[in-house]
Amino acid sequence: MVASEAAVVTGQQIETKGFETQSIDTLCINTIRTLAIDAVQQANSGHPGAPMGLAPVAYSLWQQFLNYDPADPTWLNRDRFVLSNGHASMLLYAMLHLAGVREVDEHNQVLDELAVPIEEIKRFRQMGSRTPGHPESHVTSGVETTTGPLGQGVGNSVGMAMAGKWLAANFNRPGYEVFSYNVYTMCSDGDLMEGIGGEAASLAGHLKLSNLCWMYDHNHITLDGPADWSFTEDVATRFIGYGWNVTRVADANDLEMLARAFKTFQDTTDRPTLIIVDSHIGYGSPHKHDSNASHGEPLGEEEVKLTKKFYGWPEDAKFLVPPGVREHFQDGIGKRGASARAQWSKMYAEYAQKNPELADQLHRMQRRELPEGWDKKLPVFPADAKGVATRESSGKVLNALAEAIPWMIGGSADLATSNKTNLKGAGDFQPGEYGGRNLHFGVREHVMGAALNGLVVSGIRAFGATFFNFSDYMKASIRLAALMEIPSIFIYTHDSIGVGEDGPTHQPIEQLAGLRAMPNLIVLRPGDANEVVESWRVIAGLQAQPVALVLTRQNLPTLDRTKYAAASGTAKGAYVLADAPGGKPELILIGTGSEVALCVEAYEKLKAEGIAARVVSMPSMEIFDRQDAAYKESVLPSSVTARVSVEMASTFGWGKYVGLKGRSVGMHRFGASAPLKDLLKFFGFTVEAVVEEAHKALAENKKS
């Protein structure tokens, strides 16, 4: 039976042959549920439980409250919806489909076609579909951020809410409220168990982000079994302690109470809101709701039928959207969103006329473009043997850049004075003072990473800094930035055993290799102040790649660029810094960061001995790797096999550049707590040691 053909809409009730009479609300909610059930069943993989339990919450929010026009998912002032429990992805895909959200192309143009047509729901979790296992923002229009690793979405949502406040403070003008959007985030037990969830809630509470609402799916279950096997704390009290407004909906199916909770959020102007939604529906199907059946896997054909029966659904119908359902969404979120956006657009047209500069900025932000002349004030550092730490020169360059790019904002995880990320005279972002450009993340590296991603998907060029060793604390967020193809800027100082006395707990070893192994992340480790300038030039231009900028604590000489090659070679990832006579080396030294100067010293010594050496500075392996073969050959000629890399880190990965006949000077154990000069001697980062390795490499290569 094709049930959709037999449907009759009568007032608020809808009667369909095969359906029990149900209200249009229930019909819509059950459509969301059964789409999720069918998609998961067809894929034979995925989580049906959470979408089933949360369907009424999503329905109530989207239909009545979300300020969102499905006809334009790029609208600047749209409310943001984040599904932090990304395993419930089918919930989001069903909402995008039923609300009729449009597809957006790579030029940010809205198309007529749907972002998630029903065919894509049928292709849930299949190769190349727009409905991957977890929501991916670079794959599916209308998905605001990529979620799946629990805790990341709630972390992103804090950044999005910060962005909302910052944008409002900087762009709104009397009578012109360009930015007033809210950020709604669904989350699960896992999101609140994860450490990053706690960091996010703590930061949001401190910042009094009244535009942030989390809906917690308190469904008493996780993957392994009952949530109370591992999670028994009083979440409400905890969030009250963080400074949140906490409200409760005792039954996820109670649309009236849900509406009341959302109103409470909208009326709360001094802090974020947590809505704790109690549900039990997640235990397998409602049918066997107190069995221990997993709700994190397909129900199975039999159970699917029983569940549909329970919902008053035709048992054999698949991917059914009964007549009246799409229309009802169109009448709700569709009309409300269209009218809100139309009003806004009228207001914005006037605003743009009166404030062309601000409008131009917003236009560029959305496209990740830079202002004209953004690089005019970048400094040039004169040669200086005593030199300057790259964290220091980076701080100067960052300030020059931020002056030219008003939407470049950021901060550090309580180390701004060490990381040198303070933007002078740019004010602090604090509760009630949301216009400032210096963000204070506190000692919360992980949520700093996630919040940066949230700021960046909101159009802001956000940076965040900490010690390089603690990049591990935020690795999951770096990884998502890379996957999402967004230009988050991660600044890491104290990049090696060069930190000296702090010892091995603070001395990175394997971090460079680990980050270089990550797809789509650019790692830059500049060798002197002018390479720092050139690194920032590269970073500013990034549109779809995050970067890890790796900087020293200790001073490095600023190389004399009249004697050695220009730092502009940084843009190619690696370049010949100092060469052998006639460009015919018998030996190549390759260094990065603080070891570039060491290579240059060794080169001078070898030169005095009559050895024809070349120094290659390699600030970025990733950028070098994407140069053409001819350029690569010109920097690392295949005929020259006597090669030595020098880097105060794990040597993992260097084989690719030094080859089987090359040698790598690096770290093969954890560091030690001692003055820097003792460490350098102990671990072999001296001119003598590098020269000795060079001789060995030459001897080995002559042998063969």
Sign of the dihedral defined by the CA atoms of residues 22, 330, 339, 120, in that order: positive
Helix (H) or strand (E) holding 156: helix 152-171
Q: Determine if 85 is a binding residue for Mg ion (CB under 5 A).
A: no
Q: Which stretch binds Mg ion (CB under 5 A): 213-221, 270-278, 486-494, 582-590?
A: 213-221
Nearest residue to ligand TPP, scored by beta-carbon proximity: 190
From CA 273, how far away is CA 267, in angstroms rounded? 10
Residue from 149, 272, 284, 593 binding ligand TPP (CB under 6 A):
149
Exactly one of 85, 185, 279, 535 binds ligand TPP (CB under 6 A); that residue is 85
Which of ligand TPP, Mg ion, none lies near 87, with the C-beta cut-off 5 to 8 A by kind?
ligand TPP
User: Which does residue 477 touch among ligand TPP, Mg ion, none (CB within 5 to 8 A, set by kind)?
Assistant: none
Applying CB under 6 A, what is the total number of residues that bind ligand TPP?
19
Candidates 486, 481, 472; CA nearest to 413 is 472
Supply the DSSP string of 334-372, one letter for each residue: IHHHHHHHHHHHHHHHHHHHH-HHHHHHHHHHHHT---T
Which range, of 82-90, 244-252, 349-357, 551-559, touches ligand TPP by CB under 6 A? 82-90
Closest residue to Mg ion, judged by C-beta, is: 189
Query: Which of 14-22, 196-204, 216-224, 309-317 is the region at the interface with Mg ion (rule: CB under 5 A)?
Result: 216-224
* Residue 87 or 125 with smaller CB distance to ligand TPP: 87
SS3 106: coil
- What is the nearest approach in angstroms of ligand TPP to the Cβ of residue 450? 12
Q: Report the nearest approach of ligand TPP to the CB of residue 116 (Å).
A: 21
CA 651, distance to chain mean position in Å, is 28
291: Cβ–Cβ under 8 A, 6 or more apart, which residues? 283, 284
In degrees and rounded to multiples of 5, residue 302 shows phi and psi of -65, -50
Query: Quick one: residue 100, left, alpha or beta (phi over 0 = left, psi -120 to 50 = alpha)?
Result: left
Considering only residues 50 through 79, tell me which ones interact with ligand TPP, judged by CB under 6 A.
50
3-state secondary structure of 152: helix
Report d(CA 704, CA 702) in Å as an integer: 6
Q: Verify binding: residue 131, ligand TPP, rule CB under 6 A.
A: no
50 binds, among Mg ion, ligand TPP, none (CB under 5 to 8 A by kind): ligand TPP
Residue 387 touches ligand TPP, criterion: CB under 6 A: no
Q: Give residues 33-52 in contact with ligand TPP (rule: CB under 6 A).
A: 49-50
H or E element at residue 185:
strand 183-188
Say if CB 490 and CB 471 are below 8 A apart. Answer: yes
What's the closest the beta carbon of residue 228 comes to ligand TPP, in angstroms? 11
Cα 372 to Cα 359: distance, rounded to the nearest angstrom:
14
Q: How far is the CB of 51 from Mg ion (least distance, A)?
A: 13
**Least distance to ligand TPP, CB of residue 510, Å:** 21
622 binds Mg ion (CB under 5 A): no
Among 16, 22, 141, 188, binds ligand TPP (CB under 6 A): 188
One-letter amino acid at 287 equals: H
Binding residue for Mg ion, selected from 38, 79, 189, 693, defined by CB under 5 A: 189
Using rule CB under 6 A, residue 83 touches ligand TPP: no
Is residue 529 classed as helix, strand or coil in its secondary structure? Answer: helix
By the rule CB under 5 A, 422 interacts with Mg ion: no
In this structure, the chain runs to a length of 704
Catalytic position from the list 120, 199, 445, 647 = 445
CA-closest candidate to residue 395, choices 560, 552, 594, 162: 552
Q: Is beta strand 80-83 parallel, antiparallel or unpaired with respect to 273-278? A: unpaired
Smallest distance, Mg ion to C-beta of residue 295, A:
9
Give the orientation angle of helix 24-43 with respect to helix 301-310, to 10 degrees.
180
Among 146, 219, 247, 530, binds Mg ion (CB under 5 A): 219
Hey, what are 60's tokens? 């109530």
Q: Which is nearer to ligand TPP, 219 or 554 (CB)?
A: 219
According to CB under 6 A, which residues from 275 to 304 bind ligand TPP? 282, 296
Please tell me the number of Cα atoms within 13 Å of 351 on its side-chain side: 20
Compare residues 50 and 480 and give the one whose CB is closer to ligand TPP: 50
Residue 406 CB, shortest distance to ligand TPP, in Å, is: 35
Instruction: Return the residue of 153, 190, 332, 591 that touches ligand TPP, per CB under 6 A.
Output: 190
Q: How many helices (H) and strands (E) does the chain have?
A: 25, 23
**CB-nearer residue toward ligand TPP: 84 or 554:** 84
Instruction: Please classify residue 679 by burial: count the beta carbons closer than 10 Å to its beta carbon, then call 0-12 exposed, 13-18 middle and 19+ buried.
Output: buried
Tokens found for residue 167: 């944008």
Is 700 noted as a catalytic residue in this protein? no
Binding region for Mg ion (CB under 5 A): 188-189, 219, 221
**Binding interface with ligand TPP (CB under 6 A):** 49-50, 85, 87-88, 148-150, 188-190, 194, 219, 221-223, 227, 282, 296
Catalytic residues: 445
